[in-house]
Amino acid sequence: MSVIAAPIRAKRVLPGFTLSLGTTLLYLTLIVLIPVAALVLKGAEMGPERFWRIVSSPRAVAAFQITLAAAVIATVFNAVYGVLMAWVLVRYEFPGKRLLDALMDVPFALPTAVAGLSLTALFSANGWFGAVLHPAGIPVVYTIWGIALAMAFTSVPFVVRTVQPVLEDMDPALEQAAITLGARPWAVFFRVVCPAILPAWLAGCTTAFARSLGEFGAIVFIAGNLPFQTEIAALLAYIRLEEFDYNGASAIALVLLGFALVLLLTSNLLQFWAARAREGAR
Amino acid sequence: MTAANPILLPGQSRHGARVLIGVAVVLSILFIAAPLVFIFARAFAQGWGVYVSNILHPMTLHAIWLTTLVAIIVVPLNVAFGIAAAWAVAKHRFPGRGLLVTMIEIPFSISPIIAGICYLLLYGRQGLLGPWLQANEVQVMFALPGIVLVTMFVTAPFVAREVLPLMQAQGTEQEQAAVTLGANGWQIFRRVTLPNIRWALLYGAVLCTARAVGEFGGVSVVSGNIRGQTNTLPLHVELLFNDLNAVGAFAAASTLTLIAILALFVKAALEGRR
């Protein structure tokens, strides 16, 4: 039976393969690949020496450092907050749970410029939070903390939404067995739950980190955009464009592109690992 | 399933659960709900009349129109691309499928600013196609085509991401049965596949719309921010903010927020059906 079935399955039964693949490749080539190739070509045209001079200039280095530092702060916060939210949303029943779950999608749906505008006003001296934080000597707006805040806001769903399905899929019998064997609750969490959600959690954090590195809309409002202090890499690239310094903009953009592609690859590998781990757990 | 699960980890006690829920709720209210509510609080800070006159300001109306136009062009194209990509990847086996899926996701991880720079390097005056475009008097940058193209880049994965996993999970048995019964490609798609994926498709289209109308970074590179011409709604929000017209900025932002909330409602409504 299976001997006969194999060749039939191998043959293309369903129509539309050429049309659908052709459309997909054409769209991707025109909209994504050629424009990205234009950037890579610009980098090649520039040559390594010039590229390096732009990228290693003090202002660019400062911008990269600020971007990385803020993205690390944002990702660490989201790593904890995201798991907490996924855990609470999967494991407990309480009034308002569905609303809380819907709230986790707000940063995805809300335009980044609107988020940036709102966070800036909220944390400035006459906003709801700023009115409390400013007198206490904790300025958020126009500091690296503001940048991290904007990054954290726009990237938090990545962690929640990658960890949540894994927690939902987890077999409670594993934890019950651990408890039966006398493990304390925290020991069960760290030795049973953590290993199970680790690949998905890392994948979510990687995507959140990548998103934070490239975030622009939310940050330009809150950062104050002072060179060497609160100027992020994406903004520096934008400023170089406005100065018609296309080489400067392209070099910085290429570095960000490199980061993005490496992180995308990492996240995909982690998700692959997560999928295998999930299948193994079933 | 979860309600019946008696285990409450960590903090196996009910007390521990309450603490965790409390922390999660308070953090989410401060971190996510407050910025959302604050937009409307500020937009209506000077009353309903000022709000309406802010929205009806000709520049704001033009920005709303331009943003709507961009969405009207981009979303159908994206839906077509999403369906084609999902059909090719989910219903067929071919070498490089994994690579294709990764390629579809590329725009998701590339900063919109980089996308804008890419398009400028391609279509801008000093760009690769710049001389040809100028000779033929085609204006792409700092005009509607540029805004549309960048928005297409940024939103490319949105429909495919929603439809693809569902098509993969549903397999090809139903379609194969239809083939056996003599249906042609279009009939299979209309009668078999589309009814199966319609809610995911709708959700993907709504997400794509929300993202398309909200795009800021990429559009701000290619639009040139010409007031009353290439100023989309998110760019208009920034412009009003920089003009120190905070109430106007929040009024314009509130329209975008409403679209975002609408998207979330559609998601909630569709969740039970999928």
Indicate which CATH number applies to the domain containing A230. Answer: 1.10.3720.10
CA–CA separation, B112 and B220 (whole Å): 9
Q: Say whether pLDDT at A143 is over 60.
A: yes
Contacts of A156 in chain B (CB under 8 A): 31-32
Q: Say whether pLDDT at B272 is over 70.
A: no
- Mean pLDDT, residues A47-68 taken together: 96
- Let me know whether A183 and A194 are in one domain: yes
A241 part of a folded domain: yes
CB contact under 8 A, B241 and A115: no
A113 part of a folded domain: yes
A10 part of a folded domain: no
The 8-class DSSP code of residue A193 comes to I
Select the residue of A21, A32, A217 nearest B156 (Cβ to Cβ).
A32
State residue A192's pLDDT score.
86
Contacts of A21 in chain B (CB under 8 A): 84, 88, 92, 94
Select the residue of B109, B149, B175 nearest A264 (Cβ to Cβ).
B109
Say if residues A62 and A232 touch (Cβ distance below 8 Å).
no
State residue A184's pLDDT score.
82
Among chain A residues, CA nearest to B148: A31
Select the residue of B16, B91, B210 nearest A109 (Cβ to Cβ).
B210
- Let me know whether A95 and A185 are in one domain: yes
- Let me know whether A40 and A159 are in one domain: no
State residue A282's pLDDT score.
54
> B12: closest CA among A80, A91, A170, A163?
A91
CB contact under 8 A, B36 and A249: no
Select the residue of A31, A152, A188 nearest B153 (Cβ to Cβ).
A31
Interface with chain A: mutation pick from B1, B18, B21, highest number of A CBs within 10 Å: B21
- Mean pLDDT, residues A141-162 taken together: 95
A232 part of a folded domain: yes
CB contact under 8 A, B214 and A237: no
Contacts of A27 in chain B (CB under 8 A): 81, 84-85, 156
Interface with chain B: mutation pick from A18, A25, A26, A27, highest number of B CBs within 10 Å: A27
Q: Say whether pLDDT at A14 is over 60.
A: yes
The 8-class DSSP code of residue B92 comes to -
CB contact under 8 A, A114 and B11: no
pLDDT per residue over B244-269, tens digit each?
Answer: 999 999 999 999 999 999 988 888 88
- Let me know whether A27 and A82 are in one domain: no
How many domains does chain A fold into?
2
pLDDT per residue over A189-205, tens digit each?
Answer: 888 888 889 999 999 99
CB contact under 8 A, A238 and B220: yes
- Of the two residues B57 and B274, the one the predictor is more confident about is B57
Helix B112-123 and helix A34-46, axial crossing angle in degrees, nearest 10: 80
pLDDT per residue over B133-186, tens digit each?
Answer: 999 999 899 999 999 999 999 999 999 988 998 998 888 889 989 988 988 888
CA–CA separation, B200 and A188 (whole Å): 37
Select the residue of B30, B122, B217 nearest A216 (Cβ to Cβ).
B217
Question: Domains along chain B?
Answer: 1-43 (no CATH), 48-271 (1.10.3720.10)
Q: What percentage of chain A reaches a pLDDT higher than 90?
A: 71
- Let me know whether A156 and A19 are in one domain: no
State residue A12's pLDDT score.
63
State residue A190's pLDDT score.
86
- Let me know whether A176 and A36 are in one domain: no
CA–CA separation, B166 and B112 (whole Å): 27
Q: Mean pLDDT over all residues of chain A?
A: 90
CB contact under 8 A, B260 and A114: yes
A1 part of a folded domain: no
CB contact under 8 A, B5 and A220: no
3-class secondary-structure state, position B174: helix
Number of A/B CB contacts below 8 angstroms equals 294
- Mean pLDDT, residues A264-271 taken together: 88
Q: Mean pLDDT over all residues of chain B?
A: 89
Residues with Cβ within 8 Å of residue A56, at least 6 apart in sequence = none
- Let me know whether A226 and A272 are in one domain: yes
Q: Say whether pLDDT at B112 is over 80.
A: yes
Interface with chain A: mutation pick from B113, B245, B265, highest number of A CBs within 10 Å: B113
How many Cα atoms within 13 Å fall on the side-chain side of residue A51? 15
Q: Which two tokens stand for residue A84?
A: 């907490």
Which residues constitute the domain of residue A72?
A: 48-281
Residue type, A159: V
Q: What angle do CA A104, A207, A234 make, to 5 degrees?
A: 100
Interface with chain A: mutation pick from B5, B30, B118, highest number of A CBs within 10 Å: B118
**Among the ranges given (A9-18, A144-153, A182-191), the one the predictor scored with the smallest mean pLDDT:** A9-18
- Let me know whether A71 and A153 are in one domain: yes
The 8-class DSSP code of residue A29 comes to I
- Mean pLDDT, residues B213-239 taken together: 89
- Let me know whether A42 and A161 are in one domain: no
- Let me know whether A63 and A41 are in one domain: no
Q: What percentage of chain B reaches a pLDDT higher than 70?
A: 94
- Let me know whether A68 and A193 are in one domain: yes
- Let me know whether A25 and A84 are in one domain: no
Q: Which two tokens stand for residue A9?
A: 């399955």
CB contact under 8 A, A14 and B110: no
Contacts of B114 in chain A (CB under 8 A): 39, 214, 234, 237, 253, 256-257, 260
Q: Say whether pLDDT at B4 is over 80.
A: no
- Mean pLDDT, residues A32-56 taken together: 95
